[in-house]
């Protein structure tokens, strides 16, 4: 149907050279070839079909893309995949173990800590990072250190309650 | 985002060599600001030199009692490093006031110094901006300028430097260690960032092809009397309208050495030796603090939407100095301003 | 429910004892059904309703049920529009206009086309064919007047950020890069994006609000008058999910479009119309929607462009808009609201005038009811409402959570607060003195209206009796404390909807409907309704939504989905019951042989006699005996066409702010929302909806504003770093109280819907609290510290 000029043109601007990157994603060794301009977020979503990690702004302004890299929470939208060669990545898909939900996942359900669910994987990964950091004790501290994850549905009080529940569960286990 | 070459530097010398071969390339460490700007086509480097694996991640005591911070130490690690928490809590609080924990986990110490402005016109390539496109004009003057500078502005640019960490580093008299083709040199922190004058495209006095390797703090950290107060449009995860770093030595109610630096008001973290002199040797009271504020803001000039910052800064300075004097530093999690 | 100690506010005219004992029990929350302290209070009609449908429905309906889609959402399994990966998928990127008005003189795509991996660049010059009439571009919820926007249609530029080219490529980064290489030459035309510049050119829009009396004369004669203008800026929905569409090329010119939308069937009809396709050839799917708040009611341009790309390439195409590009979609219109209230010294109103001037585009007339809400809340012999529209060179404004009411009631309830100050009457007391039991626009009573209880229970939960009336009279150290309140009101609409139930002999049921769940909890409430109506455990119910091939549903908006879809399910379940009963009766020696349909119900997996629970046949037995594997029924709901009652939800919102006296930093420390919205299907998800509405109200009051540079006609904060929405630290204590509101008239289940009521009134309550704290009245939102500094 198109009358486009796709015929008879030769590209003169070559696509970027792709680079082989090895990542440990949720405990699995993954190799992928990506262009330098591919972010970790797009690599996960488009190359590895791990769409649990969300794109909400693509500019580090919302936190929906939060994943754990070597145990630390970061914005995968501002991270080039090539720079994380060899890193250990944990996404929301990697939190449940053998079908059992992570305490944070269960707590988010219990406290209805989401509505549309789009910020949720980022919230949960961020909360996992927060708990690992061990700096947040009070509700005020949780609120402040979770402020990099926007929830437009406005589930914040339930998110704080869910994190407090999971902190309790996880402290009980260790 | 344009197509660019990617290369990884193995050591500092390697990095400096690599950038010299491609003057339009840039170093990348945390990438929190650079990737953002590349996605907006504001930054269009031909190549990125990945310095994130260079061995610049230490936080070490120096022989003269200070601390040397590797340029690649992530902001969050720095904030929560025991040496910083104990001896430079002003720096800790300033860092924790900035961005989000995710971004602080990514952003490097050196990169934080090189953050570019949040001026909306700088970000919008459809509008004129002298900083982005020298000579195209400043859209903020006569435009939307509520977040813009009130001090040290020029006819070319009224942008502000957006960092919180740098405000504390300025107050703490930090030094910046850089390495370039001509070898190493050290810049006083207050000399690192520039005012816009007629060339706002240049944010800092870093020479082309130089790499920041470390930031050094002198021994004096003001761990007893300090505060960092950030005033913004929402209670977290927002850039400062005005931020104030205050620190002092106190002896029986009299101020010894004092430091005062402001963020969100100028093209660089704003420090004013005259204002600090006005504090030194004076009683730590409202009158003294107001005088210092008046001195610091004596040349402040507002634009259409940001005149409020002058009064806000004045009140904020007095408040922050009071918090510092009373040893009740502003908490970053308890949002009540004490 | 918390009852504070201390004296009850005497002004409310309610004794403290009454509140504490509560003739209407407050325990309905979470208990599963309304409870009455005294059975004689139960209306006779309620008993009749119970006999029909309600007796067996107490297991799930009304209980705090966790989301049935919760697991999918917390594990990342839930897939949104931009996440359906398919082989051979091409990616795309939009080029936007940088000017607000003019013509494209030349568009040069040659550099973009030279990039390796670019498949094509579509512009108005080379795109595939699209419909050429306005009618073909009108979707189900398009404004009646005007000419809907057509992306890539011609050379005309009507707003900054308008899509003017679509780059198609093998990878999205390539598409994005190539998009930056498209060169455009414009012929620029004069434009205007400033409402204040155009207010005098605004034209009157017809509204259903009926004037009564002579408001002007009554105002002039009133003992106490308040008149002021309020301003609500342009706001953007900013759902977390970026607008996205994946158009999957199924071959033979057939397409499956995964789109971010609040109405799959609306998008399907629209795309079929635009691309002249048969409904069988284009299916729209949207199982999960990452927030929308009205932005997804009308089909957005990403769906058109993804299909356009797929048709051009005969290949699957995905388009994900950037956050910046989403500012080129609809928005809550900037609105100037003028209120003039005249009262007697005792506080009763004599005159209400509410005039609004809202923004629309140059090409469509979008308007909602900003005015007229006063007639639902307050008695006044004289009232006048005028709604005007001003045309600007911006995209057509659109519905955003509680359209009309969020801004209109903000203004009304701010004005009521100012009137209360002028009258020296407690703000709650003033509202009670003006309370209307009738909708004065239509002159009819309500199906139910427990707003008095909202005021009462909200006040108790908040501790309003401890408020000192004088502004600046309450403080907490360095902070001034302010307590403010406002009323919320919204409509309780219901729309035609159908549901299909497939019951299998193993006692599992699949319930399907084309409705979307945009986070509102539709999956969950339908599972609850189906489980109760079919007498099955909720685990045995599976819900399918968000697919245009499923039974008819309206767009998910206006707070009408819960009532509409629930009744579709309930109605269909009755059909299932009818067939099961027939099967049961056919069994030899059936205990239900002589049972009448209306005397039976489904419970515990059985068809049961209501009179005698021992007379029962299990669903499995009935179906096996009848040699029936599955029972499939599809029915449409039906609601009586009853104009003799007004249908509304109500709330009373109480807010506490703390304002730093020197710096003007505002914190919202507490909000109580007491909401009356009929029967609450799921107290857990309902709580979240109201809480979310309150968070939106906080944003509206203190943060949200789309900032234009009128010299460029461009939005200067088209991101979510500088377009501030509340973050976690901005939200502290929110208490939601559901006031028991049995409604036997509105519909058999007594459901009203909750999507919008949560935000209405919140901004006013906060603004009123800021006034109470500081003595300063900021009448243009958002209330930022600089405005507080300069206002008097």
SS3 sequence, C544-566?
A: ECCECCCCCCCCCCCCCHHHHHH
Which residue, among A158, A138, A163, has the nearest Cα to A73 in the 3D structure? A163
B287 in reach of chain A (CB within 8 A): no
Chain C positions touching B143 (Cβ under 8 A) are: 709, 711, 716
Q: Where in chain C is the domain with CATH 3.30.365.10?
A: 70-77+495-636, 405-493+643-790
Q: Are A44 and A122 in contact (CB under 8 A)?
A: no
Whole-number percent of chain B with pLDDT over 90 = 99
pLDDT band at C49 (very low <50, low <70, confident <90, very high): very low
- Domain check: are A31 and A86 in the same one? yes
Q: At what angle do helices C405-423 and C427-434 cross, to 10 degrees?
A: 110
Q: What is the pLDDT of residues C497-540, one digit of tens each?
A: 999 999 999 999 999 999 999 999 999 999 999 999 999 999 99
- Domain check: are A83 and A138 in the same one? no
Cis peptide before C321 (omega within 30 of 0): no
The total domain count for chain A is 2
List of E strands, C404-545: 438-439, 444-445, 475-476, 479-491, 498-504, 508-512, 541-544
Quote the CA–CA distance of C45 and C26 in Å, as a whole number. Answer: 21
Task: Quote the pLDDT of residue A108.
Answer: 98
Chain B residue with the nearest C-alpha to that of C786: B308
Which structure tokens are listed for C238? 């900013």
Residue at which a domain ends, from A55, A70, A94: A94
Which structure tokens are listed for B241? 């309208």
Contact A83 B3 (CB under 8 A): no
Q: Are C569 and C542 in contact (CB under 8 A)?
A: no
Pairing of strands C102-108, C183-188: antiparallel
Task: Quote the pLDDT of residue B165.
Answer: 98
Q: What is the pLDDT of residues C533-555, one digit of tens each?
A: 999 999 999 999 999 999 999 99
- CA dihedral (A115, A118, A119, A125) in degrees, to 10, reads 110
Q: Are C708 and A50 in contact (CB under 8 A)?
A: no
- CA dihedral (C432, C437, C443, C445) in degrees, to 10, reads 160
C721 in reach of chain B (CB within 8 A): yes
Which residue, among B133, B84, B99, has the nearest Cα to B30 in the 3D structure? B99
Which site among B30, B333, B338 would you substitute to test the A interface, given the most A Cβ atoms closer than 10 Å to its Cβ?
Answer: B333
Q: What is the pLDDT of residues B163-176, one digit of tens each?
A: 999 999 999 999 99
Alpha carbon of C214: minimum distance to chain A alpha carbons (Å): 43
- Domain check: are A135 and A74 in the same one? no
Quote the CA–CA distance of A173 and C236 in Å, as a whole number. Answer: 44
Task: Quote the pLDDT of residue C2.
Answer: 30
Q: What is the CATH number of the domain that holds A148?
A: 1.10.150.120
Task: Quote the pLDDT of residue C39.
Answer: 33
Mean pLDDT of B251-275: 98
- Domain check: are A62 and A113 in the same one? no
Res. C8: pLDDT tops 80: no
Q: What is the pLDDT of residues C148-187, one digit of tens each?
A: 999 999 999 999 999 999 999 999 999 999 999 999 999 9
**For residue C436, what is the DSSP state?**
-
Q: Is residue A138 part of a domain?
A: yes
Q: Are C363 and C147 in contact (CB under 8 A)?
A: yes
**For residue B196, what is the DSSP state?**
-
CA B54 to chain CA centroid, nearest Å:
23
Chain A positions touching C82 (Cβ under 8 A) are: 55
- Domain check: are A90 and A116 in the same one? no
Mean pLDDT of A131-146: 98
- Domain check: are A88 and A125 in the same one? no
Res. A166: pLDDT tops 80: yes
Q: How many helices (H) and strands (E) does chain B have?
A: 13, 12
| DSSP H/E element including B270 | strand B270-271
Q: What is the pLDDT of residues C284-297, one digit of tens each?
A: 999 999 999 999 99
Alpha carbon of A9: minimum distance to chain C alpha carbons (Å): 7
Chain B positions touching C728 (Cβ under 8 A) are: 236
Mean pLDDT of B220-225: 98
B143 in reach of chain C (CB within 8 A): yes
Neighbours of chain A (3+ CB pairs under 8 A): B, C
Alpha carbon of C425: minimum distance to chain B alpha carbons (Å): 31
Quote the CA–CA distance of B36 and B51 in Å, as a whole number. Answer: 18
Which structure tokens are listed for C322? 């950037």
What does the mean pLDDT of chain B come to?
A: 98
Q: What is the pLDDT of residues C369-393, one digit of tens each?
A: 999 999 999 999 999 999 999 999 9
Q: Are C274 and C131 in contact (CB under 8 A)?
A: yes
Q: ipTM value of the model? A: 0.98
Quote the CA–CA distance of C667 and C360 in Å, as a whole number. Answer: 33
Chain A positions touching B237 (Cβ under 8 A) are: 147-148, 150
Task: Quote the pLDDT of residue A10.
Answer: 63
Task: Quote the pLDDT of residue C792.
Answer: 53
Task: Quote the pLDDT of residue A174.
Answer: 65
10 Å CB burial of residue C13 (0-12, 13-18, 19+) is exposed
Mean pLDDT of A104-129: 98
- Domain check: are A75 and A137 in the same one? no
Quote the CA–CA distance of B202 and B179 in Å, as a whole number. Answer: 18
Residue at which a domain ends, from A27, A60, A94: A94
In order of their start, the domains of chain B are: 5-50 (3.30.43.10), 226-325 (3.30.390.50)
Alpha carbon of B252: minimum distance to chain A alpha carbons (Å): 34
Contact A143 C731 (CB under 8 A): yes
Task: Quote the pLDDT of residue A9.
Answer: 58
Chain A positions touching C71 (Cβ under 8 A) are: 101, 105, 109
SS (H, E, C) C267-324: HHHHHHHHCCCCHHHEEEECCCCCCCCCCCCCCCHHHHHHHHHHHHHCCCEEEECCCC
Which residue, among C784, C442, C452, has the nearest Cα to C647 in the 3D structure? C442
Which site among A15, A116, A164 would you substitute to test the C interface, given the most C Cβ atoms closer than 10 Å to its Cβ?
Answer: A116
Quote the CA–CA distance of B322 and B241 in Å, as a whole number. Answer: 20
Res. C36: pLDDT tops 70: no
A43 in reach of chain C (CB within 8 A): no
Contact B105 A16 (CB under 8 A): no
- Domain check: are A25 and A90 in the same one? yes
Residue at which a domain ends, from A64, A94, A124: A94
Neighbours of chain C (3+ CB pairs under 8 A): A, B
Res. C653: pLDDT tops 60: yes
Distance set, CA C264 to CA C260, C353, C459, C556, C689 (Å): 9, 40, 42, 10, 22
- Domain check: are A46 and A76 in the same one? yes
Chain B residue with the nearest C-alpha to that of C179: B1
Catalytic site residues of C?
Answer: 756
Res. C51: pLDDT tops 80: no
Chain A positions touching B37 (Cβ under 8 A) are: none
Which residues have a Cβ under 8 Å from the Cβ of C371 and sit 6 or more positions away? C207, C209, C354, C355, C356, C385, C386, C387, C408
Q: Where in chain C is the domain with CATH 3.90.1170.50?
A: 81-189+240-328
Contact C721 B118 (CB under 8 A): yes
Res. C757: pLDDT tops 50: yes
Q: What architecture is the C405-493+643-790 domain classified under in CATH?
A: 2-Layer Sandwich (3.30)
Q: Are B168 and B228 in contact (CB under 8 A)?
A: yes
Quote the CA–CA distance of C702 and A67 in Å, as a whole number. Answer: 31
Quote the CA–CA distance of B93 and B79 in Å, as a whole number. Answer: 7
Which site among C240, C562, C727 would you substitute to test the A interface, given the most A Cβ atoms closer than 10 Å to its Cβ?
Answer: C240
Mean pLDDT of C395-410: 98
Pairing of strands A88-90, A19-25: parallel
Q: Are C78 and C288 in contact (CB under 8 A)?
A: yes
Give SS3 for C218: helix
Res. C27: pLDDT tops 60: no
Q: How many helices (H) and strands (E) does chain C have?
A: 20, 31
Res. C640: pLDDT tops 90: no
Which structure tokens are listed for C6? 């201390």
Q: Which CATH class is domain C81-189+240-328?
A: alpha beta
Q: Is residue A120 part of a domain?
A: yes
Chain B positions touching A59 (Cβ under 8 A) are: 36, 39-40
CATH, domain range C70-77+495-636? 3.30.365.10
10 Å CB burial of residue C119 (0-12, 13-18, 19+) is buried
Which structure tokens are listed for A70? 């070597």
Res. C5: pLDDT tops 60: no
Res. C441: pLDDT tops 80: yes
Task: Quote the pLDDT of residue C12.
Answer: 28
- Using CB atoms, pick whichever of C70, C115, C719 lies closest to residue A59: C719
Size of chain A, expressed as the number of residues it contains: 174
Chain A positions touching C289 (Cβ under 8 A) are: 116
Q: Is residue A13 part of a domain?
A: no
Q: What is the pLDDT of residues C545-581, one digit of tens each?
A: 999 999 999 999 999 999 999 999 999 999 999 999 9
Q: CA geometry: angle at A23 spanning A106 and B13, to 5°?
A: 130
DSSP string covering B98-124: SS-HHHHHH-BHHHHHTPPP--HHHH-
Contact B308 C790 (CB under 8 A): yes
Higher pLDDT, C790 or C289: C289
Q: What is the CATH number of the domain that holds A78?
A: 3.10.20.30
Q: Are B167 and B261 in contact (CB under 8 A)?
A: yes
Task: Quote the pLDDT of residue C54.
Answer: 41
Q: Is residue A10 part of a domain?
A: no
Mean pLDDT of B94-116: 98
| Per-window interface: A 56-115 vs B, CB < 8 A | 58-60, 63, 66, 72-75, 78-80, 82-83
Mean pLDDT of B248-274: 98
Res. C331: pLDDT tops 80: yes
User: What is the domain extent for residue A85?
Assistant: 19-94
| DSSP H/E element including C697 | helix C683-702
A39 in reach of chain B (CB within 8 A): yes
- Domain check: are A121 and A155 in the same one? yes
Chain A residue with the nearest C-alpha to that of B38: A37
Task: Quote the pLDDT of residue A8.
Answer: 47
- Domain check: are A88 and A131 in the same one? no
């Amino acid at each position: 149907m198109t009358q486009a000029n796709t015929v008879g043109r030769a590209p003169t601007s070559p696509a970027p050279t792709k680079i082989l990157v090895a990542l440990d994603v949720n405990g699995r060794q993954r190799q992928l070839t990506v262009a330098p301009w591919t972010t970790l977020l797009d690599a996960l979503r488009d190359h590895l079909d791990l769409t649990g990690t969300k794109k909400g702004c693509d500019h580090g302004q919302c936190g929906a893309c939060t994943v754990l890299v070597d145990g630390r929470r970061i914005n995968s939208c501002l991270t080039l995949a090539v720079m994380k060669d060899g890193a250990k990545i944990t996404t929301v898909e990697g939190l449940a173990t053998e079908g059992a939900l992570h305490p944070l996942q269960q707590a988010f359900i219990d406290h209805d800590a989401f509505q549309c669910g789009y910020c949720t994987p980022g919230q949960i990964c961020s909360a996992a990072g927060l708990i690992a950091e061990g700096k947040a004790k009070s509700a005020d501290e949780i609120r402040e250190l979770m402020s990099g994850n926007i929830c437009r549905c406005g589930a914040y009080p339930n998110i704080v309650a869910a994190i407090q529940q999971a902190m309790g569960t996880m402290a009980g286990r260790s | 985002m344009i197509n660019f070459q990617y290369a990884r530097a193995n050591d500092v010398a390697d990095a400096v060599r690599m950038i010299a071969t491609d003057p339009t390339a840039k170093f990348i460490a945390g990438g929190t600001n650079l990737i953002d700007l590349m996605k907006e086509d504001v930054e269009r480097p031909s190549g990125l030199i990945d310095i994130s694996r260079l061995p610049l991640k230490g936080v070490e005591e120096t022989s003269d009692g200070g601390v040397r911070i590797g340029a690649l130490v992530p902001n969050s690690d720095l904030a929560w490093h025991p040496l910083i928490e104990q001896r430079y809590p002003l720096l800790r609080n300033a860092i924790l006031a900035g961005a989000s924990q995710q971004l602080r986990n990514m952003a490097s110490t050196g990169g934080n110094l090189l953050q570019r402005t949040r001026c909306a016109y700088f970000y919008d390539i459809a509008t004129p901006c002298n900083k982005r496109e020298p000579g195209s004009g400043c859209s903020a003057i006569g435009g939307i300028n509520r977040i813009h500078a009130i001090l040290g502005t020029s006819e070319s640019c009224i942008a502000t430097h957006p960092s919180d960490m740098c405000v504390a580093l300025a107050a703490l008299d930090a030094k910046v260690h850089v390495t370039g083709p001509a070898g190493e040199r050290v810049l006083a922190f207050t000399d690192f960032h520039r005012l816009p004058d007629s060339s706002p495209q240049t944010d800092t006095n870093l020479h082309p092809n130089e790499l920041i390797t470390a930031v050094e703090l002198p021994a004096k950290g003001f761990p007893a009397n300090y505060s960092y107060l950030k005033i913004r449009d929402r209670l977290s995860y927002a850039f400062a309208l005005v931020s104030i770093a205050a620190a002092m030595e106190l002896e029986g109610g009299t101020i010894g050495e004092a430091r005062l630096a402001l963020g969100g008001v100028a093209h660089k973290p704003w420090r004013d030796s005259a204002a600090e002199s006005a504090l030194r040797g004076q009683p730590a009271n409202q009158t003294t603090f107001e005088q210092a504020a008046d001195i610091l803001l004596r040349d402040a000039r507002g634009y259409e939407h940001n005149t409020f910052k002058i009064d806000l800064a004045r009140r904020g300075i007095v408040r922050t100095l009071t918090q510092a004097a009373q040893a009740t530093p502003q908490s970053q999690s308890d949002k009540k301003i004490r | 429910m918390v009852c504070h100690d201390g004296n009850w506010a005497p002004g409310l005219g309610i004794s403290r004892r009454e509140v504490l004992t509560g003739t209407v029990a407050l325990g309905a929350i979470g208990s599963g059904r309304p409870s009455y302290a005294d059975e004689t209070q139960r209306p006779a009609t309620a008993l009749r309703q119970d006999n029909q449908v309600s007796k067996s429905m107490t297991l799930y309906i009304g209980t705090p049920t966790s989301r049935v889609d919760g697991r999918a959402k917390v594990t990342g399994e839930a897939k949104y529009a931009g996440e359906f990966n398919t082989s051979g998928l091409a990616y795309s990127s939009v080029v936007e206009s940088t000017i607000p008005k003019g013509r494209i003189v030349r568009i040069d795509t040659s550099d973009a086309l030279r990039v390796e991996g670019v498949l094509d660049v579509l512009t108005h010059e080379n795109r595939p064919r699209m419909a050429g009439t306005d009618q073909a571009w009108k979707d189900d919820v398009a404004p009646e007047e005007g000419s809907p926007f057509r992306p890539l249609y011609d050379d005309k530029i009507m707003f900054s950020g308008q899509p003017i080219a679509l780059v198609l490529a093998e990878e999205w980064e390539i598409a994005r890069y190539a998009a930056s290489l498209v060169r455009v030459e414009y012929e620029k035309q004069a434009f205007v994006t400033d409402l204040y510049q155009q207010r005098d050119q605004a034209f009157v829009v017809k509204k259903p609000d009926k004037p009564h009396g002579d408001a002007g004369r009554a105002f002039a004669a009133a003992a106490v008058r308040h008149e002021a203008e309020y301003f609500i800026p342009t706001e953007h929905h900013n759902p977390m999910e970026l607008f996205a569409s994946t158009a999957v090329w199924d071959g033979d010119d057939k397409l499956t479009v995964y789109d971010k939308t609040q109405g799959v069937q609306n998008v399907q009809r629209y795309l079929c119309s635009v691309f002249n396709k048969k409904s069988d050839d284009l299916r729209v799917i949207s199982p999960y929607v990452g927030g929308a708040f009205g932005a997804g009611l009308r089909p957005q341009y990403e769906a058109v462009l993804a299909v356009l790309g797929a048709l051009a390439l005969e290949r699957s195409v995905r388009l994900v808009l950037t956050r910046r590009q989403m500012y080129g979609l609809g928005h809550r219109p900037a609105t100037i609201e003028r209120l003039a209230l005249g009262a007697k010294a005792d506080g009763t109103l004599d005159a209400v005038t509410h005039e609004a001037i809202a923004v629309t585009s140059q090409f469509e007339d979008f308007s909602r009811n900003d005015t007229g809400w006063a007639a639902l809340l307050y008695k006044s012999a004289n009232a006048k409402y005028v709604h005007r529209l001003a045309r600007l060179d911006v995209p057509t404004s659109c519905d955003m959570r509680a359209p009309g009411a969020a801004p209109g009631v903000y203004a009304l309830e701010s004005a009521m607060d100012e009137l209360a100050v002028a009258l020296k009457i407690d703000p709650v007391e003033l509202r009670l003195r003006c309370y209307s039991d009738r909708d004065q626009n239509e002159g009819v009573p309500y199906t139910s209206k427990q707003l008095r209880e909202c005021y009462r229970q909200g006040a108790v939960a908040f501790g309003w009796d401890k408020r000192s009336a004088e502004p600046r009279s309450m403080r907490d150290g360095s902070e001034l404390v302010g307590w403010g309140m406002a009323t919320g009101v919204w409509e309780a609409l219901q729309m035609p909807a159908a549901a299909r139930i497939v019951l299998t002999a193993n006692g599992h049921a699949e319930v399907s409907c084309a409705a979307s769940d945009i986070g509102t909890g539709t999956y969950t409430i339908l599972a609850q309704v189906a489980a109760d109506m079919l007498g099955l455990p909720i685990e045995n119910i599976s819900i399918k939504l968000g697919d245009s091939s499923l039974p008819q549903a309206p767009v998910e908006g206006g707070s009408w989905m819960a009532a509409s879809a629930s009744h579709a399910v309930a109605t269909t379940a009755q059909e299932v019951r009818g067939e099961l009963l027939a099967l049961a009766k056919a069994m030899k020696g059936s205990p239900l042989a002589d049972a009448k349909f209306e005397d039976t119900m489904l419970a515990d997996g059985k068809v049961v006699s209501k009179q005698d629970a021992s007379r029962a046949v299990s669903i499995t037995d009935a179906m096996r005996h009848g040699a029936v594997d599955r029972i499939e029924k599809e029915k449409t709901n039906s609601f009586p066409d009853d104009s003799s009652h007004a249908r509304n939800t109500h709330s009373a919102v109480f807010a506490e702010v703390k304002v730093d006296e020197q710096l003007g930093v505002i914190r919202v420390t507490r909000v109580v929302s007491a909401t009356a919205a009929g029967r609450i299907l799921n107290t857990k998800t309902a709580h979240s909806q109201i809480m979310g509405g309150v968070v939106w109200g906080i944003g509206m009051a203190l943060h949200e504003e789309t900032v234009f540079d009128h010299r460029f006609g461009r939005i200067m904060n088209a991101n979510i770093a500088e377009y501030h929405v509340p973050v976690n630290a901005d939200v502290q204590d929110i208490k939601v109280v559901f006031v028991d509101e049995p409604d036997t008239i509105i519909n058999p289940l007594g459901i009203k819907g909750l999507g919008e009521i949560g935000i209405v009134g919140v901004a006013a309550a906060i603004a009123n609290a800021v006034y109470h704290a500081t003595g300063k009245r900021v009448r243009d939102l958002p209330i930022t510290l600089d405005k507080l500094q300069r206002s008097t």
